[in-house]
Amino acid sequence: MSRVRHISLDLILILIPAIAGCQGGGQAATFGESFDDEAADADADGGLDEGAYAEPRLRILLGRQYVAAVGDLLGPQAAQVASVRADVALNGFDAIGAAQIALTSQDIDIYEQSAGAVAAAALATPGALDAYRSCVPQEPGDLECMRSFTAAFGSLAWRRTLDESELTRWSEVGVTAALDFGEFDKGVEFVIAGMLQSPNFLYQVEIGEPDLDNPTLRRLTGPEVATRMSFFLLDTTPSRELLDAAAAGELDTVEGVRAWAESMVLDPRARFAFDNFFEEVLYLRKLDETAKDVGTYPGWSPYLADSMRVETIALVDDVIWIEDGDYRDILTADYTFVNEALASHYGIAYPGGTGFQKVTLPPGEKRGGIFGHASLLSLLAHVSSTSPTLRGKFVQERMMCTSIPPPPPGVVTDLPSGAEYKTMRERLAGHQDQELCASCHSIMDPPGLGLENYDGVGRFRTMENGVVIDTKSDLDGEPFDGAAELGGLLRERSKFSLCTILNLYRHATGHVEQPGEIDRLIAVDESFIAAEYRFKSALVELVASKAFRFVGEQDQ
């Protein structure tokens, strides 16, 4: 299929920084503004010159999705004994790795053993399989009854109806085992264990079909939309009701998809799904492997690190799900959530009670929003010092979707140290003096230098090596000082809301958006803005957009 690629001049300009480096008056930093110029022309349902869609790829269920799917199919006892392969991240997302990485023998070994344990647990749990049983076996090798079970379990586990050869193949596995053991349910056990190892379960399979209204376009089939929606919004396999709706054609229209998405974001599981998303986007998962030098930072412990993770998730969760507020409040909130350990870490009074309690931020520390959280400040730091570069890179790369090219080859990446360099700002000054380094470090270091009042574990400080730290800095030229002001600047940047949509899209579809897809995502961002940055509405708008419901063809 050939289609005119819609690549505007603006988009070409956007792509230049990623290719050519940061040179050119901070072009990398103007990336999002260029998107905004495009937005005026964007049309949610696309025009005739619609940009090309990306090739869909088989996507391995993420570890957490695999476990949740097992639980939904076979009950919590089964989920408890499930084991998972390690997700592999590419471009910062496990979902992108899941669309490119091939399963190794180690993965298959894990799946094989997990499936056996899961099936045995389901068989041992009364009632766990009732939904799939519609007949009483007349003998251990009752083929008809085995076919009935296989069809019922398979259609839910594989998110689609089985064809005749699949039904025959898998009921034979069941009957052979049932006859060998003299017990029908032994056959059922091997059917379950086997079908959970099938690529039809382990991957989200998205092939699509020609759109009847516009045969040059390719839309996901109803069951494929149901599957993509459910794993994205709820981190689990689609329910029987959603699959039935898909079979009835309800997901063939944008109205139908929107209606289902609106109800799914109210499902409590959506909260957990996006807790997971934010743990990935904000790198919070790294906290459980973040090491600190206990000499420099006494009191650092796995428990404290995990408390930090919970604090940030609690704030995001509060803004999105409890307050249903402006998503950008995560950047500026003047309150947070602490347990006793964190309260002591921050040096603030714990209000009493148990667990995490809502507290107002202490005055005089310039805190506000997630950039003042010990979580980000700790994981974006070194073992025994801060790292303004890591902190600034995070702001640019993860919050504004600005790619930072690698340091040029042959550059000695040494930071000066010694008695004459008291502060990190002095040590990093060389980045700004050397032209080769300055092109990127001039956008990376300053956002971090403005956070130097927070040490490598997020505690407030005003001095470093006996010298008062100068924390006046800038974000791409706009001045700020401290976490709250940085958050305040970022929340007004259009790049921030667009980058939120892009990150959601990368996670939802397992690929970095391609140039042809940008207009559709800008349109989603516009709807997000129009909804006053309600995160739930971003989810619904993204799912309802053609960006989510349509695909390209697989390259042969």
Among positions 131-170, residues that touch another protein (CB under 8 A) are: 165-166, 169-170
12 binds another protein (CB under 8 A): no
Site for another protein in 356-375 (CB under 8 A): none
Binding track over 256-295 against another protein, x by CB under 8 A: ---------------------------x--x--x-xxxxx
Contact in structure between 479 and 15 (CB atoms under 8 Å): no
Q: Please select the residue that binds another protein; options are 1, 4, 86, 468, rule is CB under 8 A.
A: 86
107 binds another protein (CB under 8 A): yes
Q: 47 or 302: whose CB is closer to another protein?
A: 302
Nearest approach in angstroms of CB 549 to another protein is: 20
Nearest approach in angstroms of CB 52 to another protein is: 14
Q: Secondary structure of 214-283 in the HEC alphabet?
A: CCCCEECCHHHHHHHHHHHHHCCCCCHHHHHHHHCCHHHCHHHHHHHHHHHCCCHHHHHHHHHHHHHHCC
23 binds another protein (CB under 8 A): no
Beta bridge partners of residue 336, listed in sequence order: 359
Q: Please select the residue that binds another protein; options are 9, 40, 48, 102, rule is CB under 8 A.
A: 102
3-state secondary structure of 359: strand
101 binds another protein (CB under 8 A): yes
Q: 167 or 315: whose CB is closer to another protein?
A: 167
Contacts of 337 (CB under 8 A, 6+ apart): 310, 311, 314, 315, 318, 356, 357, 358, 359
Q: Please select the residue that binds another protein; options are 300, 337, 371, 454, rule is CB under 8 A.
A: 300
Beta bridge partners of residue 550, listed in sequence order: 219
Binding residues with another protein: total (CB under 8 A):
91
Nearest approach in angstroms of CB 105 to another protein is: 4
Nearest approach in angstroms of CB 324 to another protein is: 28
Residue 71 Cα distances to 65, 77, 333, angstroms: 10, 8, 36
Q: Secondary structure of 306-352 in the HEC alphabet?
A: HHHHHHHHHHHHHHHHHCCCEHHHHHCCCEEEECHHHHHHHCCCCCC
Q: Please select the residue that binds another protein; options are 132, 153, 184, 190, rule is CB under 8 A.
A: 190
**Tokens 């030098």, located at residue:** 293
Q: How far apart (Å, rounded) are the C-alpha atoms in residues 501 and 417? A: 41
Q: Please select the residue that binds another protein; options are 7, 13, 16, 18, rule is CB under 8 A.
A: 18
**Tokens 């005119």, located at residue:** 4
Nearest approach in angstroms of CB 48 to another protein is: 25
Look up residue 139 and give its DSSP letter.
S
Contact in structure between 508 and 261 (CB atoms under 8 Å): no
**Tokens 């991240």, located at residue:** 89
Q: Please select the residue that binds another protein; options are 16, 39, 81, 88, rule is CB under 8 A.
A: 88
Q: Please select the residue that binds another protein; options are 499, 504, 540, 542, rule is CB under 8 A.
A: 499
Binding track over 307-346 against another protein, x by CB under 8 A: ----------------------------------------
Choices 236-244, 246-254, 400-408, 454-462 (CB under 8 A): range interacting with another protein: 400-408
